[in-house]
Amino acid sequence: MSAPLLDLDHVVKHYALPREGLWAAPRRVMALAGVSLSVSAGRSLGLVGESGSGKSTLARIGMGLEAPSSGLARFEGQELASLSAEGLKRLRRDFQMVFQDPYGSLDPRRTVGWIVAEPLWRQSLGRSERQAAVAEVLGSVGLRSADAGKYPHEFSGGQRQRIAIARALITKPRLIVADEPVSALDVSVQAQVLNLLEDLQRDFGITYLLISHDLAVVDHVCDLVAVMYRGRIVEEGSPTDLFQGPAHPYTRALIAAMPKPIPGRRRALRKAVNGNGTAPSGSERGCPYADRCPHARERCRSEAPPLREVDGGRRAACHFAEEVMVLPSPA
Amino acid sequence: MALLELDDLTVTLNTTRGPAKAVRGVSFALDRGATLGVVGESGSGKSMTALAILGLLPEGARATGQVRFDGRDLLTLDEAGLCRVRGDRIGVVFQEPMTALNPLHSVGRQVAETLVLHRGMSAGASRKEAIRLLDRVGIPDAARRIDAFPHQFSGGQRQRVTIAIALACGPDLLIADEPTTALDVTIQRQILDLIASLVEEDRMALLMISHDLGVIAENVERMLVMYGGALVEEGPTSELFAKPSHPYTQGLFGARPSLGAGRGTKLKTIKGTVPELVDMPPGCPFAGRCPLTIAACNAALPAPVELGLAHQARCIRLDVALRAP
């Protein structure tokens, strides 16, 4: 097994909240509470969790857009925080990002050709070389090279997301971070974009870090899934293991909460998850999920469970993971 | 008599490229206490249908046909008449709880407003009732939180507040237009459960609009599938899931990734994109994107074909579509 492409080691990130009183120290929120994670080349990692669980912060740190408060983020062994601004820019050719909203992430006053070629500005390419690169990359996402002269408003949502993917592809990156790439799209168009992501991985060996709240999307695209809750990874493993026999009660709750296309199923399931998954502002003792967990016991409130190996390559942060795993399927 | 009966509802919008039909001859009926779901993608006309029922169509839109609510045609009512129905007999929950609530007024005041307006309650009585309603939709410590402002609530709690407003007068019909699209899965589950239990307890009729087949499957007895402004298929939810018949419905069901389908399985896609309203084909709206298109598809909107107990689809090539795996 080769060295991981992206490697996060005990990453902690705090944000300061606005001061509430003139002399009071500003409160802090812990967006990431010591996350370790690695993504191997050519594989896809999915990050799931509710809003506020720290998924996007993790992606931003992985992209070198933000420095961790403590801990290390390494891309191919190079620590991102230690790089100079220039070095980081050079490295960014290898990792690109696709955002959720294809309406907000494309400049409406630029042509598609300009938007897609923008990441190439740092490389001193000639005009014709640049045009050739744009045509090639538009072709690989299923658009025509003639589309380069059009403006974003002339395209539908799914096509715009293809343009955003083309922009990410043009530097031939090795890692693409996709933050909810299909959640703003209609179902029939979602399928086209998901298939495209898979084709590109097969053809170019791209590694994905896919952030999504939709478990089915992650299950479809990813080799490995990490479930986040309040700034921590609570479970990590292959989607098959995770979704068929979740080892953490929170993963169970997420699966149970998903609306399933089975008519009349709701009546059978009435126990919902209480509370929400946003990050707490202070430190706390015990398991962060204990107050919502139906299986919580005494030990959960006094001792925080570490993320540990539970069964063949799967990690879970629960004292009673072995018991949770054998519970009947939540779906 | 059905509580709500739509008869050949057509909504015409004025676009920059001329008039376009956002809803094309939609007819359906909803009985008292029954639940009905509408699925469709953006531009399918599902929200426009809801807005037409409520008399909240955008400026310049024209609605023809009939929308009979309890025997009265809502399309012929003037604004004052509509105001007496909306919020009193028909409650609405929209997608974005933040934009549905007024940020400048306390939530208590927004819940009480409906009661003062429709029930003529005094300030004291409406406040008391507002606390009871907020408590009923699961706002913890409602008596204390009643004076809080929308920004002090989380997304899920804000949606609970809008549900409290919709329920205030004990409506006969609750319209929920994508009520959980802006929320996290676990919160979505709570809100859907809340809506389902309230609908059950109060014997309200529910018209639930969603793009999510899962949400529809779990929450309504009957469903309609809309595409390009037209009703392409309708039937009991279980029937329709067991035997999706219109090529569009089949495409929609195949395009959705499902948990456990495994990696590497190709999703079935529907080729092309939803055309703009002005460019909708004159006949079947799905013609052109549909793999079974023949020349006759463009002639006229196909008539509904009976497929089983109250299950029908508008397609002239159903014989072929039904043989497809």
Q: What is the mean pLDDT of each run of 10 residues along chain B (325 residues)?
A: 94 88 95 94 88 92 94 93 93 87 94 94 95 92 92 89 94 93 83 91 94 89 94 94 93 83 74 81 91 92 91 93 78
Three-class secondary structure assignment of B105-123: CCHHHHHHHHHHHHHCCCH
Is B250 in the A-facing interface, judged by CB distances under 8 Å?
Answer: no
For the record, the structure tokens of B118 come out as 């429709």
Q: Which residues contact B96 (CB under 8 A, 6 or more apart)?
A: B182
Q: Which residues of A touch B247 (CB under 8 A)?
A: none
Length of chain A: 331
Q: Do A263 and B251 touch (CB under 8 A)?
A: no
Sign of the torsion angle spanned by Cα atoms A230, A235, A239, A240? negative
Residue among B64, B76, B69 nearest B25 (CA):
B64
Question: Which residues 88-117 of A are in CB contact (within 8 Å) with B?
Answer: none
What Rg, from alpha-carbon coordinates, does chain B have?
21
Q: Which residues contact A204 (CB under 8 A, 6 or more apart)?
A: A169, A172
pLDDT at position B301 is: 92
For the record, the structure tokens of A55 come out as 């998924």
Please report which residue ranges of chain B form alpha helices under DSSP H.
Answer: 46-54, 79-85, 97-100, 107-119, 123-136, 142-145, 155-167, 185-202, 213-219, 237-242, 247-255, 318-323
Average pLDDT, consecutive stretches of 10 residues, N- to C-terminus, chain A (331 residues): 82 84 80 90 90 86 90 90 87 87 88 92 84 90 88 86 91 90 80 87 91 88 92 92 90 88 62 46 71 88 89 88 85 64
pLDDT at position A265 is: 61
Q: Do A263 and B218 touch (CB under 8 A)?
A: yes
Q: Do B185 and A213 touch (CB under 8 A)?
A: yes
Q: Which residues of B touch A198 (CB under 8 A)?
A: 264, 266
A43 within 8 A of A224, measured Cβ to Cβ:
yes
Alpha-carbon gap, residue B20 to A125, rounded angstroms: 46
A276 within 8 A of B185, measured Cβ to Cβ:
no
Q: Do A272 and B214 touch (CB under 8 A)?
A: no
B240 within 8 A of B223, measured Cβ to Cβ:
yes
Q: Which residues of A touch B252 (CB under 8 A)?
A: 187-188
Q: Which residues of A touch B270 (CB under 8 A)?
A: 188, 191
Residue from A186, A213, A265 to probe the interface with B (highest B Cβ count within 10 Å): A186
Q: Do A191 and B273 touch (CB under 8 A)?
A: no
Residue among B34, B183, B204, B21 nearest B94 (CA):
B183
Q: Do B187 and A50 touch (CB under 8 A)?
A: yes
Q: What is the spatial order of strands in the sheet that A224-229 belongs to?
A: A95-98, A175-179, A207-211, A44-48, A224-229, A232-237, A314-316, A308-311
Q: Do B212 and A259 touch (CB under 8 A)?
A: yes
Longest Cα pair distance anywhere in chain B, in angstroms? 66
Is B241 in the A-facing interface, judged by CB distances under 8 Å?
Answer: yes
Alpha-carbon gap, residue A232 to A280, rounded angstroms: 12
pLDDT at position A56 is: 85
Q: Which residues of A touch B263 (CB under 8 A)?
A: 219-223, 239
Q: Do B185 and A220 touch (CB under 8 A)?
A: no
Is A194 in the B-facing interface, judged by CB distances under 8 Å?
Answer: yes
pLDDT at position A278 is: 47
Q: Which residues pair with A46 in a beta bridge?
A: A210, A225
Write out pLDDT tens, residues A212-233: 888 888 988 899 999 999 899 9
B136 exposure class (CB count in 10 Å sphere: 0-12, 13-18, 19+): middle
Residue among B93, B210, B105 nearest B162 (CA):
B93
Neighbours of A90 (CB within 10 A): 12
End-to-end Cα spacing for chain A: 34
Which chain B residue shows the shortest CA-CA distance from A183?
B181
pLDDT at position A270 is: 47
Neighbours of A322 (CB within 10 A): 12
Neighbours of A129 (CB within 10 A): 12
Residue from B16, B35, B153, B186 to probe the interface with A (highest A Cβ count within 10 Å): B186
For the record, the structure tokens of B124 come out as 């004291």
pLDDT at position B288 is: 86
Interface size A-B, in CB pairs within 8 Å, comes to 149
Q: Strand, helix or coil at B274?
A: coil
Residue B257 amino acid letter: P
Q: Which residues contact B201 (CB under 8 A, 6 or more apart)?
A: none
Pair type for strands B222-227 and B230-236: antiparallel
Is B262 in the A-facing interface, judged by CB distances under 8 Å?
Answer: yes
